[in-house]
Amino acid sequence: MATGAIKGGRKGPARPKRDWRGTLARLLKRAGAVLLLILLAAGIALWWAARWAPSRDQYPWQGVTIDAANGQVHWGSVKAAGTDFAYIVATDGAERADPMFARNIEGAEAAGLQFGPIHRYDLCRLATDQAANFIRHVPRRADALPAAVWLDYDDRCPDRPTRALLLSELATFLAQIEAHMGKPSLIAPSPAFEADYRVTSGIARTAWLRRDFFAPDYGAHPWAMWQANAYMRISGADGTIGWNVVRPDGDIQ
C-alpha cells in the first residue's frame, strides 16, 4: 500500500464547535428566573407576616407591644387597626428608661386603650437597683394593666447566674415593683431563657410567652398572653410591633 494514500486519506467529520456564549446565556437566564421566583416568594412571605394575626373568633382581645423604636406613635390609628390594649416598654435594667414611655402612655390613654408597662430585666444588675429604676419612671395607676417583666438574654450582659440566684433576685424585684403597682406582675421569658432557668415553674406568676405564628408550647403552665407575631406592621407606628393575644380564660387584669 502506498504511503501517500495513507497521508492523503479522508478525514472524519469535524466536531461542531460548542457555543459556550449561548450556553452561558441560557444558564444565566434560568438562574435569573429562579432568583426572581425566590425573591417573589420572600416578598409574599414578608407581606403575609406583616399582616398576620390569630383569629378574633378564638382570641377576641388583642393588642400591641410598643417602644421608642416605633417612633412617634399615632395612637388613634393604632386603635383603629384593631388594638384593644398596649404594653409599652418603660425601663431597662437599673439605669435605662425608654424616652417615649411617658408620651406613649399618655397617647394610649387618650385613645381609650388599656396599657401596661414593660421592664427589661438585666442579669448583670441587682434586683433592688432595677426596681428603683422602674418605680422612678412608672407611675402607680390603678387602671393600668399589670407590669410585665421581659426575661431574655442580652449581648450587653455576659453574666449567667445560677437558677437559685436568678429566682431569688427576680422574687425580690417582683415584690418591690408589685408593692408599687398594687397588683401581681406578668413574667415574659423567651423560649431560650425559660429552657435554661425554668422561671415559670419557680415563680408563681401569670406567663406571657412568645412564638411567631404558632401558639407557644413551653412553660410549666398554660400561658395567659401570647406574643404571636413580632413582625407585624400597622398604621400609626414605625417599623414592626409585637402583636399579642390574651387567652380567653386567661387573666391579665
pLDDT at residue 24, rounded to an integer: 74
| Residue 200 pLDDT grade (very low, low, confident, very high; cuts 50, 70, 90) | very high
pLDDT value of residue 16? 57
Q: Which of 14-28, 92-106, 212-226, 229-243 has the lowest mean pLDDT?
A: 14-28
Q: Is the pLDDT of residue 145 over 90?
A: yes
Contact 212, 228 (CB under 8 A): yes
Asked if residue 121 lies in contact with residue 149, where contact means CB atoms within 8 angstroms, the answer is: yes
Classify domain 57-246 at the CATH class level: alpha beta
pLDDT score, position 2: 47
- Is pLDDT of 61 > 90? yes
Distances (CA, A) of 153 to 125, 157, 159, 195, 221: 13, 8, 9, 12, 22
pLDDT tier at 196, thresholds 50, 70, 90:
very high
The reported pLDDT for the residue numbered 31 is: 73
Mean pLDDT confidence for 119-135: 98
pLDDT in tens, 232-248: 999 999 999 999 999 99
Q: Say yes or no to pLDDT of 169 above 60.
A: yes
**Average confidence score pLDDT of the chain:** 90
Indicate the pTM of the whole model. 0.83
Which residues touch 105 (CB under 8 Å, ≥6 apart)? 88, 115, 117
* Longest distance between any two alpha carbons in the chain, whole Å: 117
Amino acid at 158: P
Q: With pLDDT > 70 as the criterion, what percentage of the chain qualifies?
A: 86
